[in-house]
Amino acid sequence: MSEQAKDEGPLPVVSWLKGAGTNDPYLEGQKCECGAIFLGERNNCSSCGARDQLKPTRLSNKGKLYVYSIVHRSFPGIEVPYISAIVDLDGGGTVKGNLINVEPDPAKIQFDMPVDVVFDDALGRKDKDGNSYISYFFQPAA
């Protein structure tokens, strides 16, 4: 990446995180007329097979915890433990991410607990060009 990218502030961790570096970041889905919602740009729907019918749609910043795992062993250099969570967003769309601000203890984590999608620096991770990134996280609903 270029100096220009640095000047523009942090980059989004995934292409479907929009508004990185603004005060209104959000996740974007691609919604088909059949109702299926996908993450990331695509041309065709893998649910109904429709072509070129997908429309960008702003996903909710609220959702419910579907399932999780508490990760105690990961690849070298990755800080553990952390909670890997699958969240169903209100109004549609399922997203995977880290659940933060909860103790990594099954007794403290409930299925269907309401969560907020929050946006913050990507744990200090930078790419080889030194660019910083903004990521999304889940935390218990305020």
Partner 1 sequence: MSDVYVMGIDMIKFGRFPDKTVPQLGATAALMALDDAGLTIQDMQALYCGNLGQASAMVGQRVLQEIGQTGIGVVNCANACATGATAFREAWMSVKAGVNDVVLAVGVEQMGKGLLGGGGGAAGIPKEGLLGSGTMPAVFAEAGMEHSRNYGTTFEQFAKVSVKNHHHSTLNPKAMYQIETPLETVMNAEMISYPNTKLMCSVNVDGAAAAVLVSEKKARELGMARAVRVKASVLTSDPYSDRDLVMPDVNAVTRRAAAQAYEMAGIGPEDIGLVELHDCFATAEILHYENLGLCKDGEAGRMIDDGEVALGGRIPVNVSGGLLSKGHPLGATGIANIYEVSTHLRGEADKRQVEGARFGMTHVIGLGSACGIHILEKVA
Least distance in Å: CB of 78 to partner 1?
4
Q: Which of residues 75-114 bind partner 1 (CB under 8 A)?
A: 75, 78-80, 82, 84-86, 88, 94-98, 106, 111
CB of 33 to partner 1, least distance (A): 15
Q: Which residue's entry shows tokens 């609220």?
A: 62
Binding mask 21-40 for partner 1 (x = CB under 8 A): ---------------x-xx-
Minimum distance of partner 1 from residue 141's CB (angstroms): 19
Q: Strand pairing partners for 57?
A: 29
Specify burial of residue 65 (Cβ count, 10 A radius: 0-12, 13-18, 19+).
buried
Q: How many CA atoms lie within 13 A of 77 on its CB side?
A: 3
Q: How far is the CB of 97 from partner 1 (least distance, A)?
A: 5
51 binds partner 1 (CB under 8 A): no
Task: Supply angle C-alpha 82, 110, 93, rounded to 5.
Answer: 80
Q: Is 43 in the site for partner 1 (CB under 8 A)?
A: no
Both tokens assigned to 136: 């999304």
